[in-house]
Copies of this chain bind each other. A is one copy, B any other.
């Protein structure tokens, strides 16, 4: 049995054990400097090396083109829901594709800063699919088009990014990829800006990653706080004010861990993606084969990271969670807004953790189904 429980939390979420061990070992003395990372001046050479390595490793991992700037910011995904329109809307039209709870929040927040419109919305059908881009009512004068490429609560994922230019739309695509960043490649030719809270696949809460094409910098509204003006942050190389240094350090350790992954002849992000495909298939197959468990999401839009499911007999929920916990499978309770169960199987969840959950699904059904 695994020494620690398998933690299926949607975020903050599990981190690779090797990363945690490294962070603990270096807590009082980073690389012989005599200083812990939390104690270093952000302007000193030691932290400079940490920041530089984190950015260059991330660029390598995600194949980020040189025309994109990497910003290490604060405020989380919800913060970016305001910071994106403060920087990109110019007070004009903002088009949002609503595919779940997160893009619905983005729509609501953006309304403070421009003329928002939901150009597609799957609410009526319970957010179980990705609407075909050809049907999006994108406006010609949109300042940007926002999509959440993985809905953490509803378990819906874009497996291909929309090609806005093919729709005759020149607006930049903004993707909220908080809950699946670094789990698969990103087609940068279709993206203007990507943002992600760190606390799911990257590191500790409080760090927010923004990857923005340089052509989008420099148009912030007057009301935009300096620390959230992308152009100013880019100009200062994420050091306009003290960045969340510990979060950047841990994220950097995670990036190195991801780059070192190997799977069936693949390496780095390709290996990570292959493993994520395998893990998701194991879990969805177990759910689909059962009589007790249900996942309602269109198979073409099912998230590899967040797998919501429910028991047909909801009176068994508490027993399901209690017996899971006895086996060391924790944080499986679904989000309060949708109920049921949710297994978040981020990059750091080993295949063994998914197999242990599949065993529990089978054993529990055999006993109670």
Contact B35 A83 (CB under 8 A): no
* Cβ contacts under 8 Å, A197 to chain B: 242
* Cβ contacts under 8 Å, A28 to chain B: 4, 17, 20-21, 24
* Cβ contacts under 8 Å, A14 to chain B: 35, 39
Distance of A103 from chain B, by nearest CB (Å): 15
Distance of A22 from chain B, by nearest CB (Å): 10
Contact B76 A42 (CB under 8 A): no
A38 contacts the other chain (Cβ, under 8 Å)?
Answer: yes
* Cβ contacts under 8 Å, A205 to chain B: 38, 42, 242-246
Contact B227 A78 (CB under 8 A): yes
Contact A4 B76 (CB under 8 A): no
Q: How far is the CA of A363 from the CA of B51 in the complex (A)?
A: 37
A93 contacts the other chain (Cβ, under 8 Å)?
Answer: no
* Cβ contacts under 8 Å, A330 to chain B: 34-35
Contact of A204 among B7, B25, B79, B246 (CB under 8 A): B246
Contact of A20 among B12, B27, B225, B250 (CB under 8 A): B27
Q: How far is the CA of A300 from the CA of B14 in the complex (A)?
A: 51
Using CB atoms, name the residue of chain B closest to A2.
Answer: B34
Using CB atoms, name the residue of chain B closest to A8.
Answer: B41
Q: How far is the CA of A17 from the CA of B36 in the complex (A)?
A: 10
Q: How far is the CA of A330 from the CA of B4 in the complex (A)?
A: 39
Question: Provided the pairs A74-B79, A197-B242, A225-B109 are in contact, do residues A41 and B23 lie with their beta carbons within 8 angstroms?
Answer: no
* Cβ contacts under 8 Å, A225 to chain B: 75, 79, 81-83, 86, 109, 112
List CB contacts (< 8 Å) of A180-216 with chain B: 197, 199, 203-207
A44 contacts the other chain (Cβ, under 8 Å)?
Answer: yes
List CB contacts (< 8 Å) of A206-258 with chain B: 206-207, 221-223, 225-228, 240-247, 250
Using CB atoms, name the residue of chain B closest to A200.
Answer: B242
* Known A9-B39, A11-B242; further 4 A-B contacts with Cβ < 8 A: A23-B27, A82-B226, A197-B242, A204-B244
What 6 A-B pairs come out closest when comparing CB atoms?
A206-B244, A82-B225, A24-B27, A78-B241, A223-B223, A74-B74
Q: List 24 A-B contacts (CB under 8 A).
A: A4-B28, A7-B34, A12-B39, A12-B40, A15-B36, A17-B28, A20-B28, A24-B25, A38-B203, A41-B331, A74-B79, A74-B206, A76-B242, A81-B226, A82-B225, A109-B225, A112-B223, A197-B242, A199-B242, A199-B245, A205-B243, A205-B244, A206-B244, A244-B247
